[in-house]
Amino acid sequence: MLLDLLAAASAALAAAGLLLLGFRLAGRRAPRWLAPVAAALGVIAVTAALRYQWAPRMEGLLPPDMVVLDRVQGHSPFDPLSYVWPVTDALLLADTASRRHHPGHPGLVLLDLVLLRRGEETLLARHLVDCGGTRDAVVPPGWDGGDPAALSWATTTIPGLQAAACVSGETPARDAPARAPAAAASGPAL
C-alpha cells in the first residue's frame, strides 16, 4: 500500500508538472485551478491502473504449484467504473504442493486453499476433498486426521477444486508431504 501511495503522489506531481511545463513552453500562463485538477486526474488514473492490474500481477508471481480457483470481484460506489468493469479484489488459490491422501481413505485428498486479498491479510484453510464424489469439507485447526465422517461436508464444491485436488493416475505413495500452514501463507507481498 505504501508503494501505491508513492505511485499516486508521483503521478500527481508528474501530471501537474507536465501541464505547467506545456503552458510555459507555449508562452501562456496556466489557470490556477488547472494544476490541482491535473494532479487529481493523475492520482485517479494511477490508482485505477494499480487496482485493475493487481490480480494479473499477483498471478504472474505465483509459483507453478498454486492453481487459481476463483477471482473474487467486487464493486464499490466510490469506484463507478467497477460496476462496468469489476475489479478483482482477491484470488482463491489451491496449493497443489500441499496435496496428500488421507491415510485411511485413499479417495480423500487433503489440500490447502489460500485466499490472497488485495491490501489485507492472506488466509489459509485446509480442505478435505472427496475425489469419488462431489463434496468437500473444511478441516478445522487441530484435526488429527481421524474419522472424516465427523467433518461438515458440503455437496457443492468450489469450481476447480476437484480438478486441483484429484489427479488421475496418482497414487498416495507419490504424494509429497504436506507443508506447514505458515509456509503456505507466505506468498507475494501485497
Output the CA–CA distances (angstroms, integers) from residue 141 to 10, 114, 116, 118, 144, in the order listed.
Answer: 44, 15, 19, 25, 9
Domain regions of the chain by residue span? 2-59, 64-185
Would you say 190 and 89 are in contact if contact means Cβ atoms under 8 Å apart?
A: no
Q: Rounded to two decimals, what is the model's pTM?
A: 0.74
Average pLDDT of every residue of the chain:
82
Q: What pLDDT is recorded for position 56? A: 94
Give me the mean pLDDT over the 54-83 stretch: 91
Residue whose grid cell is 489427479:
167
Q: How confident is the model at residue 179 (pLDDT cuts 50, 70, 90)?
A: very low
Q: How confident is the model at residue 170 (pLDDT cuts 50, 70, 90)?
A: low
Q: What pLDDT is recorded for position 180? A: 38
pLDDT tens-place string over residues 126-139: 988 888 888 888 88
pLDDT tens-place string over residues 70-121: 999 988 888 888 899 999 999 999 999 999 888 888 888 989 999 999 888 9
Amino acid at 137: A
Which one is predicted more confidently, 151 or 93?
Answer: 93
Identify the sign of the CA torsion 21, 27, 33, 37: negative
| Cα dihedral value 15, 20, 23, 24, nearest 10 | -140
Q: What pLDDT is recorded for position 42? A: 92
Rounded to the nearest 5 percent, the helix, strand and coil shares of the chain are 40, 25, 35
